[in-house]
Structure 1
Amino acid sequence: MAGLDTIAERLTRGIARGTSRRSLLAKLGLGLTGAAAFPVLPVARAATHPEGPAHQPVTSGNIQDPGDRTSCDYWRYCAIDGFLCTCCGGAVNACPPGTEMSPITWIGTCTNPADNRAYIISYNDCCGTSSCGQCLCNRNEGDRPQVRTQSNNDYNWCLGTQSSIYNCSTAVIVGVALDTPR
């Protein structure tokens, strides 16, 4: 330990002999000036991009299910109102970990651009933790007045779950809609 103290003492005395208080203050001032100019330097400000820092489309990889599942324009989201579970750690048909899917849903009928058929979509809210806060979508195609609750997306559908705290919404395909008779 004594050897380490001797080395530290020699190093400190050498620095003290070679520098003055004025040069130390000058270097400190130069450092503070440089630190103040640092935020002005050009940097990539990816966090200010509206879709997030590094938006990568999330697709199914199936040509029969086209589109970006993190975009409000995805075909299944034609009647959705809420945060997309695909942006919150879940999937288009599964809740994020730590949440549970509400058994009570609203429904919509959306047209798949791949086969031009209408599908019945069940919009289930995922409940149990605070709102995700990412990828908010409010599309009201086919939305009905609140007196027709099963076709209205303005309710908190976290009923029948342990917690009524809303997190995000899924879009589960229930089946193919019947063609209307002509």
Structure 2
Amino acid sequence: MNFFDKVFEQRSRQLAQRSSRRGLLKGLGAMLVGGASIPLLPVARAAGAEGAGRPVEEGDPSSCDYWRYCAIDGFLCDCCGGSANTCPPGTEMSPVTWIGTCHNPADGRNYVISYNDCCGKSSCGACLCMRDEGDRPVYRPDKTNDLNWCLGTSSVTYHCSTAIVVGVAFDD
């Protein structure tokens, strides 16, 4: 026997001593099931479409008539030291939110908007907007804007509200 054959035989015998047919079948089965489940994993399909998640912005974010504020109920963070997307310094964004779908007249698309309250300071008191398009009764808490959404923060004191674009709303 040549050197290659001896090494191959030695390695094969070592592998046979450490493994079994059941172990091999178990590994193959796990690979088949795992490979078949890959298409079931969540995929951000909208991320692949060019510009699908980024709306064309027009208008004044400190005005109640701004397109993102179609379902807002509260003080605009844009008038309180923050922006339409961010809380003012010294406040904390609530992890619980209500959502709405607003039409952007600049590009003609509908977008899903997440309305997050900023909490931790007393009410801002500037730019109060009460637009209730698509508002639902309180028994549908994910679709109502009549709740204090500062739950889950260190302080339940409401300060202002943001309007964050989550993505394009598709009609199904």
Same fold (TM over 0.5): yes
Give the equivalent residue in structure 1 for 2:88: 96
Aligned pairs (5 A) from 1:1-182: 64-180=56-172
Aligned partners of 1:63 and 1:148: how far apart in 2?
28
Q: Aligned partner of 2:117: which letter?
A: D
Cα deviation, residue 63, structure 1: 9.0
Note the alpha carbon deviations across 1:48-100, whole angstroms, 9 max, x for none. xxxxxxxxxxxxxx992111100000000000000000000001000000000
Note the alpha carbon deviations across 1:135-174, whole angstroms, 9 max, x for none. 0000000001111000000000000000000000000000
- Over 2 Å off, 4+ runs: none
Higher relative contact order (CA 8 A, sep 6+): 2
Number of corresponding residues: 119
Say which SS state the counterpart of residue 112 (structure 2) adopts. strand
Aligned partners of 2:128 and 2:169: how far apart in 1?
27
Cα deviation, residue 179, structure 1: 2.0
Note the alpha carbon deviations across 1:8-40, whole angstroms, 9 max, x for none. xxxxxxxxxxxxxxxxxxxxxxxxxxxxxxxxx
Say which SS state the counterpart of residue 150 (structure 1) adopts. helix
Over alpha carbons, which structure has the higher Rg? 1
Q: Where does structure 1 lack aligned partners over 5 or more consecutive residues?
A: 1-61
Cα-Cα RMSD: 1.3
Q: Aligned partner of 2:164: which letter?
A: V
Give the equivalent residue in structure 2 for 1:49: none
Q: Where does structure 2 lack aligned partners over 5 or more consecutive residues?
A: 1-53
Give the equivalent residue in structure 2 for 1:56: none
TM-score when scaled to structure 1?
0.64
Say which SS state the counterpart of residue 110 (structure 2) adopts. strand
Q: Aligned partner of 1:85: which letter?
A: C
Q: 1:119 to 1:82 in 2, by over 3 A?
A: same
Give the equivalent residue in structure 2 for 1:51: none
